[in-house]
Amino acid sequence: MLRILMLNNRKILILNEIDNIAVCLVDMDIGEVIRQDALNLTIQNRIPRGHKVATKAISKDEGIIKYGERMGHATSDIQIGEHVHTHNVLGDRLSTEQVK
Protein backbone atom coordinates (compact mmCIF):
# COMPACT_ATOMS: atom_id res chain seq x y z
CA MET A 1 0.00 0.00 0.00
CA LEU A 2 2.81 2.38 0.95
CA ARG A 3 4.52 1.83 -2.38
CA ILE A 4 1.41 2.99 -4.23
CA LEU A 5 1.28 6.08 -2.03
CA MET A 6 4.88 6.93 -2.86
CA LEU A 7 4.54 6.26 -6.58
CA ASN A 8 1.83 8.88 -6.53
CA ASN A 9 4.39 11.31 -5.10
CA ARG A 10 2.75 11.49 -1.71
CA LYS A 11 4.60 13.74 0.69
CA ILE A 12 2.69 12.86 3.82
CA LEU A 13 1.50 9.56 5.21
CA ILE A 14 -1.87 9.21 6.90
CA LEU A 15 -1.67 6.09 9.08
CA ASN A 16 -5.36 5.83 10.00
CA GLU A 17 -8.41 7.66 8.69
CA ILE A 18 -9.43 8.85 12.17
CA ASP A 19 -5.98 10.41 12.80
CA ASN A 20 -5.72 14.20 13.15
CA ILE A 21 -2.03 14.17 12.16
CA ALA A 22 0.02 12.78 9.27
CA VAL A 23 3.70 11.85 9.07
CA CYS A 24 5.85 13.91 6.69
CA LEU A 25 7.81 11.65 4.32
CA VAL A 26 10.08 14.52 3.22
CA ASP A 27 11.36 17.74 4.80
CA MET A 28 8.63 20.40 4.46
CA ASP A 29 9.07 24.14 3.87
CA ILE A 30 6.75 26.94 4.95
CA GLY A 31 4.05 27.59 2.38
CA GLU A 32 4.27 24.20 0.72
CA VAL A 33 0.83 23.06 -0.42
CA ILE A 34 -0.17 19.43 0.06
CA ARG A 35 -3.03 18.05 -2.01
CA GLN A 36 -3.77 14.41 -1.34
CA ASP A 37 -7.25 12.93 -1.61
CA ALA A 38 -9.64 15.24 0.22
CA LEU A 39 -6.75 17.03 1.94
CA ASN A 40 -5.68 20.47 0.94
CA LEU A 41 -3.32 22.04 3.43
CA THR A 42 -0.56 24.61 3.52
CA ILE A 43 2.50 23.86 5.63
CA GLN A 44 2.83 26.49 8.40
CA ASN A 45 6.34 25.74 9.73
CA ARG A 46 9.50 24.00 8.57
CA ILE A 47 8.81 20.33 9.41
CA PRO A 48 11.59 17.71 9.24
CA ARG A 49 10.99 14.33 7.62
CA GLY A 50 9.38 11.89 10.05
CA HIS A 51 7.75 14.64 12.10
CA LYS A 52 3.99 15.21 12.29
CA VAL A 53 1.74 17.77 10.64
CA ALA A 54 -1.84 18.56 11.74
CA THR A 55 -4.37 17.45 9.13
CA LYS A 56 -7.31 18.75 11.16
CA ALA A 57 -7.69 21.78 13.45
CA ILE A 58 -6.96 20.61 17.01
CA SER A 59 -8.16 22.54 20.08
CA LYS A 60 -6.17 22.89 23.30
CA ASP A 61 -6.58 19.72 25.46
CA GLU A 62 -7.94 17.70 22.53
CA GLY A 63 -6.38 14.26 21.91
CA ILE A 64 -3.66 13.75 19.28
CA ILE A 65 -4.61 10.63 17.28
CA LYS A 66 -1.93 8.54 15.48
CA TYR A 67 -2.28 4.91 14.24
CA GLY A 68 -5.97 5.45 15.21
CA GLU A 69 -4.95 5.72 18.90
CA ARG A 70 -4.57 8.59 21.35
CA MET A 71 -0.90 9.48 21.87
CA GLY A 72 -1.30 12.60 24.04
CA HIS A 73 -3.06 15.96 24.03
CA ALA A 74 -2.60 19.45 22.61
CA THR A 75 -1.26 22.07 25.03
CA SER A 76 -2.42 24.88 22.72
CA ASP A 77 -4.72 25.26 19.73
CA ILE A 78 -3.11 23.75 16.61
CA GLN A 79 -3.97 24.90 13.07
CA ILE A 80 -4.13 22.64 10.00
CA GLY A 81 -0.66 22.44 8.46
CA GLU A 82 1.15 23.20 11.72
CA HIS A 83 4.07 21.16 13.07
CA VAL A 84 2.77 18.87 15.87
CA HIS A 85 5.53 18.12 18.38
CA THR A 86 6.76 18.68 21.93
CA HIS A 87 6.10 22.46 21.77
CA ASN A 88 2.33 21.93 21.49
CA VAL A 89 1.75 18.34 22.70
CA LEU A 90 2.16 16.53 26.01
CA GLY A 91 1.68 12.83 26.79
CA ASP A 92 -1.33 11.94 28.92
CA ARG A 93 0.69 9.75 31.27
CA LEU A 94 3.92 9.92 33.24
CA SER A 95 4.32 13.64 32.83
CA THR A 96 4.82 16.24 35.57
CA GLU A 97 1.19 17.28 35.21
CA GLN A 98 0.11 14.10 36.94
CA VAL A 99 2.87 13.82 39.50
CA LYS A 100 1.54 15.46 42.64
Nearest to residue 28, comparing CAs of 51, 7, 8, 1?
Answer: 51
Part of the chain binding another protein (CB under 8 A), chosen from 6-14, 34-42, 54-62: 6-14
* Cα distance between residue 59 and residue 53, in whole Å: 14
Identify which of 75, 77, 52, 76 has the alpha carbon closest to the alpha carbon of residue 65.
Answer: 52
| In the complex, least distance from residue 37 CB atom to another protein, rounded to whole angstroms | 17
33 scored as a contact of another protein (CB under 8 A): no
Asked if residue 14 binds another protein (CB under 8 A), the reply is no
Contact flag: residue 90 with another protein (CB under 8 A)? yes
Name the region of 37 (left: φ>0; alpha: ψ -120 to 50; beta: rest).
Answer: left
Confirm or reject binding of residue 98 to another protein (CB under 8 A): yes
Binding residues for another protein, rule: CB under 8 A, are 1-3, 5-7, 13, 15, 23, 25, 48-52, 64, 66-67, 69-72, 84-86, 89-96, 98-99
